[in-house]
């Protein structure tokens, strides 16, 4: 059976998702939200209890693997998927529906297994010699081309020709907008994007340090996340990307915030030390255990506070 505590190539992740759908057809739905340049499927897994509820549950979005080389991110998503399904109504599914994209950038991820472990962007050819757009620079039209972006197609932070120039970002935007439309404005509270590395919880805005309107609530949730893993050695720092990492224009979290999702967090998973894209598989379980604790603490907090 599938070993959650090792890293897996793309085809094995796809098989894992299919097996979850096969084994839990009432709870799990795997859908293709788009196709990449190389023809891979961009697959989202929807996990919800189908038990007929009088009240609709709010939606939670989680994406992993937007940057190809950050292998701990998809591994964390798979751990979360497994936990959510196994816990069923005893876990967060009792009160929330989950939409999870385990591999945001399938072409890039596959390329890190076949050719270049340090690849970051997608794999769409841009010029004769340069390939790929940084998908986390390709979102927000308003700060497209803001800080930490490049218009050089050879750069690792190449933003693309315009916001949503890429099949992956378009697919994610459409999927998010569909969730918003179906669930309604107040029923899509939480959006989480998992990256590595650095052990950081980043709140809006990504493109600067100006305070967002709901800063107090964001900080309250940030605190809940920090507290949930405070007893561990693997603590996280909390703040804006601009303050504790670097400002970023065109990031997916800012786009989600602009669209009305009140709590978009970008999480930089462990480790903290340099060279952290290569993170031994022996760390996977602890990492998703911690994130599982965070997700549980956040969902309990959201329920207490409406």
CA angle centred on 252, ends 17 and 201, rounded to 5°: 85
Pairing of strands 28-35, 41-47: antiparallel
Determine, following the binding rule CB under 6 A, whether residue 298 of this chain makes contact with ligand 0X9. Answer: no
Give min distance, CB of 269 to ligand 0X9, in A: 9
Determine, following the binding rule CB under 6 A, whether residue 202 of this chain makes contact with ligand 0X9. Answer: yes
Give min distance, CB of 52 to ligand 0X9, in A: 37
Burial environment of residue 252 by CB neighbours within 10 A (0 to 12, 13 to 18, 19 or more)? buried
Determine, following the binding rule CB under 6 A, whether residue 67 of this chain makes contact with ligand 0X9. Answer: yes
Determine, following the binding rule CB under 6 A, whether residue 266 of this chain makes contact with ligand 0X9. Answer: yes
Q: Measured between alpha carbons, how far is 58 from 209 in angstroms, rounded to an integer?
A: 29
Restricting to residues 209-248, name those near ligand 0X9 by CB under 6 A.
241, 245, 248
Determine, following the binding rule CB under 6 A, whether residue 159 of this chain makes contact with ligand 0X9. Answer: no
Residue 84 or 253 with smaller CB distance to ligand 0X9: 253
217 is catalytic: no
The 10 Å CB-count burial string (b at 16+, else e) for 35-52 is ebbeebbbbbbbbbbeee
- Tell me the two tokens of residue 267: 């999480």
Residue 172 or 248 with smaller CB distance to ligand 0X9: 248
- Considering only 43, 136, 287, 299, the residue that binds ligand 0X9 (CB under 6 A) is 136
Give min distance, CB of 208 to ligand 0X9, in A: 11
Q: Which residue is nearest to Zn ion (CB)?
A: 195
C-beta separation of 269 from 196 below 8 A = yes
Where along the sequence are the contacts to Zn ion (CB under 5 A)? 67, 195
Give catalytic residue positions.
Answer: 268
């Amino acid at each position: 059976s599938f070993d959650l505590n090792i890293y897996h190539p793309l085809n094995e992740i796809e098989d894992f998702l299919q097996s979850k759908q096969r084994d839990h057809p009432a709870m799990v739905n795997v859908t293709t939200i788009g196709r990449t340049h190389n023809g891979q499927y961009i697959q989202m897994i929807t996990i919800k209890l189908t038990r007929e509820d009088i009240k609709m549950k709010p939606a939670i979005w989680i994406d992993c693997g937007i940057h190809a080389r950050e292998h701990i991110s998809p591994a964390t998503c798979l751990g979360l998927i497994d936990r959510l399904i196994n816990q069923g109504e005893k876990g967060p599914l009792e009160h929330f529906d989950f939409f999870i994209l385990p591999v945001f950038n399938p072409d890039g991820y596959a390329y890190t297994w076949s050719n270049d472990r340090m690849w970051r962007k997608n794999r769409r050819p841009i010029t004769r010699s340069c390939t790929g757009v940084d998908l986390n620079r390709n979102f927000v039209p308003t700060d497209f081309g803001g800080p930490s972006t490049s218009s050089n197609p050879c750069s690792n932070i190449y933003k693309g020709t315009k916001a949503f120039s890429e099949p992956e970002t378009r697919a994610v935007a459409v999927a998010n907008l569909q969730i918003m439309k179906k669930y309604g404005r107040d029923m899509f509270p939480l959006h989480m994007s998992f990256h590595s590395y650095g052990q950081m919880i980043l709140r809006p805005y990504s493109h600067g340090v100006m305070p967002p309107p709901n800063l107090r609530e964001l900080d309250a949730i940030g605190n809940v996340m920090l507290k949930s893993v405070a007893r561990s050695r693997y603590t996280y720092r909390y703040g804006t990307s601009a303050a504790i990492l670097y400002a970023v224009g065109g990031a997916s979290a800012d786009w989600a915030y602009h669209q009305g999702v009140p709590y978009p967090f970008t999480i930089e998973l462990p480790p903290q030390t340099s060279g952290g894209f290569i993170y031994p598989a022996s760390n996977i379980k602890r990492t998703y255990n911690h994130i599982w604790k965070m997700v549980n603490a956040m969902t309990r907090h959201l329920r207490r506070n409406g």
